[in-house]
Amino acid sequence: MAKKKTEKMNFQTEAKQLLQLMIHSLYSNKEIFLRELISNASDAIDKLRFESIANPEMTEGDTDFHIDVTFDKDSKTLTIVDNGIGMTREEVISNLGTIAKSGTAEFFSKLTGDQKSDAQLIGQFGVGFYSAFMVAQEVEVETCSAIPGSTGVRWKSSGEDEYSIEDAKDLGRGTRVILHLQQEALEFTEDYRLRSVVKKYSDHIGVPVRMVKAAITGDDEEAKKEEELEAVNSAQALWTKSRTDVKDDEYKEFYKHISHDFDEPLSWSHNKVEGKLEYTSLLYLPKKPPFDLYNRETPKGLKLYVQRVFIMDDAEQFLPLYLRFVKGIVDSNDLPLNVSREILQEDEKVTSIRNALTKRVLSMLSDMAKKEEEKYQEFWDEFGEVIKEGMGEDFSNRDSIAKLLRFSSNKSGEQEKKVVSLEGYLGRKAKDQKSIYYICAESFEKASQSPHLEIFKQKDIEVLFLFDRIDEWMMSMLTEHEEHPLVDVMRGDVKLPGESEEKDDEDSSEEKAEEHPLTERITPVLKDKVQKVRPSKRLTDSPACLVLSEDAMGIQMRKIMEANGQSMPSSKPYFEFNPDHPLVKRLDEESDEDRFGELVEILFDQASLAEGGSLQDPASYVSRMNRLMLDLMSG
Ligand code: ADP
Ligand code: MG
């Protein structure tokens, strides 16, 4: 291959943006660039170890893996060297010049320009290699791929718009990152300071990270230098240690290493399983969801190791989709080293591990809910919606998931976040109450203002509020909890405690209730709009409301379907009026049939509005109201 001259190339637009943000928003915690670069070096070694299982020639017999961190005060450089997998020219261009992550555009659209909140977001995005520019005015990368016969490459940039790239002969396998430090970052050429940072970010890594034993002055003999290098970390993969030997801080650092998260984890669980299956798992719950939690293409899953050899990132097969926010590693002794994603999908051992890990996460959550309520609340606020997916996805664990659910209710007062579990609900329900009541609405406010709650408020019965997009769907899976039926107060003929909640002599009671003279007068007015007219048992303050029939599709579900372009046959509601309300009483006395009709139409429209629905014909509503007001004013 002919030697290529130095080429100048532009960073991809998103990469440029990220670089700028990095430099300007994250300055307060500069030292993390070392975590990122050491992390990359360790990943590169993991990858080579893995590749060389099938292609032993890639290591050329050199399996003495290590990462070296050195500095030079005079030239103000800091260098991180690894003998990992290295990169080809093409890899350098795509890995260091672009951001390949899915959802990148979405990520940038969320940035606000406010440094503090943007810094938070970048943290969730993962900062990576570009964090080097927080401390360096120029970054040089010399790298040579472990693929036999590869030519080396030198990449250079000052983090502005472009970088240069050229072939470089005589480079050994692996990658050397040379940082030309900014004046303000010279602390990283202080041996003591550097050593403590390197130690902090490498203690959990399974490769020796080495530094020069004592400052060497004016030497140029490589050999001598080599001798003086010593590992500053224990070089034992963290999860292989026993729990009692690992400090919380080490667990936290390891989390940041594998998750690229800025924040500390909310909680973790480290377990060694022995017996028929042997594996170790270390699972973390993050504090905040990643920006792309709902993006289908987002990589998810655990880091998979087999007998301590790194096999792959994002092994999805070890956890169900609704636990996709869990980060961590699983290290199996039973899988073959050459295991592929396809094999993982079918392997019975993988299924058993997955079932066990799922239970592990669920019990971690239920323990937290019991012992650390506040922490669980924090978790629920961030991840509740994803957990709800589990009600449909994971039939075998439905009961445990149901116990993790939290709801606002008419007992939350003004505080949406004051939630209750099903267990809590049952613990404070009325004595003779069998059902668990709930209402679906578009928001907390709409739920709390619904006329359907009036009778429940009056009788001090708790009603759960459901207003997440996914709720109506979820409730179709949750019809019963510990033998208590869940009842939608907006549907059908709701029975109150003490009223014999069982479905029994429905007909007779309904018939009786419908014996009201207004029923017959109202029915012809609304006959095209409603299925039935009847006096209400659920209203105390409002004159009228609309009720869904038992099998009608809920408002939320209908909206979702319609947003997806599906037209839904409209099912007509029931119209219920409150015979004790002054307006209704007055209506009863109205002898002018035209005027009676107008008033009924207004009551119907108002009931739709109170339900959070929109009017079919707002103009008619307005003109009716205006006529009414004119009458009032002139009379
Ligand atoms: P991430 O590590 O999350 O993929 P980075 O920005 O840290 O993102 O790195 C981008 C990519 O550059 C890596 O995925 C890897 O392919 C490549 N890379 C970075 N550092 C090294 C290295 N020391 N050796 C080999 N490849 C590297
Ligand atoms: Mg990285």
* Tens-digit pLDDT profile for residues 335-386: 998 888 988 998 999 999 999 999 999 999 999 999 999 999 999 999 999 9
Distances (CA, A) of 26 to 105, 335, 392: 20, 41, 40
For 88-131, how does the pLDDT look when each residue is reduced to its tens digit (9 = 90+)?
A: 999 999 999 988 777 777 777 877 777 777 777 777 777 789 99
Burial class of 108 by CB neighbour count within 10 A (0 to 12, 13 to 18, 19+): middle
Which residue of 43, 68, 69, 147 sits with most ligand 1 atoms within 8 Å of its CB, as the best mutation to test the pocket?
43
Q: Is 450 exposed, middle or buried (0-12, 13-18, 19+ CB in 10 A)?
A: buried
Range scoring the smallest mean pLDDT among 159-173, 431-445, 554-568, 594-608: 554-568
Judge if the beta carbon of residue 36 lies within 6 A of ligand 1: yes
* Separation of alpha carbons 163 and 16, rounded Å: 11
Please tell me if the CB atom of residue 45 comes closer than 6 angstroms to any atom of ligand 1.
no
Cα-to-centroid distance, 96 and ligand 1 (Å): 7
Confirm or reject: Cβ of 15 under 6 Å from ligand 1: no
- Residue-wise DSSP of 489-523: TTBS-PPPTTS--SS-SHHHHHHHHH--HHHHHHH
Which of 330 and 513 is assigned the larger pLDDT? 330
Structure tokens at 281: 């798992």
| Ligand with the closest atom to the CA of 39 | 2
- The ligand whose atoms approach the alpha carbon of 46 most closely is 1
The residue ranges of DSSP E strands in 374-523, in sequence order, are: 408-409, 436-440, 463-466, 480-481, 484-488
Q: Which of 319, 260, 320, 247 is nearest to 286 (CA)?
A: 260
Asked whether 320 lines ligand 1 (CB < 6 A), one says no
Average confidence (pLDDT) over 417-444? 94
Residues with CB under 5 A from ligand 2 (ion): 40, 128
Centroid of ligand 2 to alpha carbon of 37 (angstroms)? 7
CA distances from 567 to 348, 469, 558, 559, 608 (A): 43, 18, 9, 10, 20
CATH tag, 7-234: 3.30.565.10
Q: How many CB atoms lie within 10 A of CB 242?
A: 8
pLDDT of 571 > 50? The answer is: yes
- The 8 Å CB, 24+ separation contacts for 506-513 are 510/534, 513/537
Distance (angstroms) between ligand 2 centre and the Cα of 81 equals 15
Give the model's confidence band at 148: pLDDT under 50 very low, under 70 low, under 90 confident, else very high. Answer: very high
pLDDT tier, 219 (very low <50, low <70, confident <90, very high otherwise): low
User: Which residue owns the Cα nearest ligand 1 atom 5?
Assistant: 128
Q: What would the CATH number be for the domain defined by 506-549+564-634?
A: 1.20.120.790
CB of 123 closer than 6 angstroms to any ligand 1 atom = no
What is the CATH number that goes with domain 407-501?
A: 3.40.50.11260
Ligand 2 mean position to 106 CA, how many Å?
21
From the CA of 380, how far away is ligand 2's center (Å)?
Answer: 29
- For ligand 1, atom 19, the nearest C-alpha belongs to 40
Residues 6+ positions from 48 with CB-CB distance below 8 Å: 58, 59, 65, 83, 84, 85, 146
Tokens of 133: 């520019």
Q: What percent of the chain has pLDDT above 70? A: 94
84 touches ligand 1 (CB under 6 Å): yes
The encoded tokens of residue 63 equal 């399996």
Arithmetic mean of pLDDT, 329-333: 96
User: Which residue is closest in CA terms to ligand 1's atom 11?
Assistant: 95
Nearest CA, atom 9, ligand 1:
129
Domains 407-501 and 506-549+564-634 share a fold: no
Between 449 and 422, residue with greater pLDDT: 422
Domain 239-371 indexed as CATH 3.30.230.80: yes
In terms of Cβ atoms closer than 10 Å to its own Cβ (0-12, 13-18, 19+), residue 391 is buried
Query: How many Cα atoms sit within 13 Å of 191 on the Cβ side?
Result: 8
Task: Give yes or no for residue 509 having a pLDDT over 50.
Answer: no
Ligand 1 atom closest to the CA of 177, numbered from 1:
23
Residue 326 has pLDDT above 60, yes or no: yes
Residue of 122, 114, 164, 108 lying closest to 140 (CA atoms):
164
Sequence spans of domains, the chain: 7-234, 239-371, 407-501, 506-549+564-634
Query: Which residue has its alpha carbon closest to ligand 1 atom 1?
Result: 128
Query: Is the CB–ligand 1 distance for residue 146 below 6 Å?
Result: no
Contacts of 100 (CB under 8 A, 6+ apart): 94
CA 10 to centroid of ligand 2, rounded, Å: 21
CA distance 201 to 196: 9
Which pLDDT score is estimated for 216? 52
Using a 6 Å cutoff on CB, does residue 40 contact ligand 1? yes
Q: What is the position in ligand 1's atom list of the atom closest to the CA of 127?
A: 6
Task: Give the number of the atom of ligand 1 that is nearest the alpha carbon of residue 130.
Answer: 6
pLDDT category at 298 given cuts 50, 70, 90 is: confident
Which strands form 302-306's sheet, in the order they lie side by side? Answer: 267-273, 279-285, 327-332, 302-306, 309-315
**CA 177 to centroid of ligand 2, rounded, Å:** 13
Per-residue pLDDT tens for 580-632? 999 999 999 988 999 899 999 999 999 988 877 778 888 999 999 898 888 88
Query: Ligand 1 centroid vs 129 CA: distance in angstroms?
Result: 6
User: 41: Cβ below 6 Å to ligand 1?
Assistant: yes
Q: Is 85's C-beta closer than 6 angstroms to any atom of ligand 1? A: yes
**Is the Cβ atom of 473 under 6 angstroms away from ligand 1?**
no
- What beta strand segments (E) does 274-354 contain? 279-285, 302-306, 309-315, 327-332
Q: Are 610 and 449 in contact (CB under 8 A)?
A: yes
217 pLDDT more than 60 = no
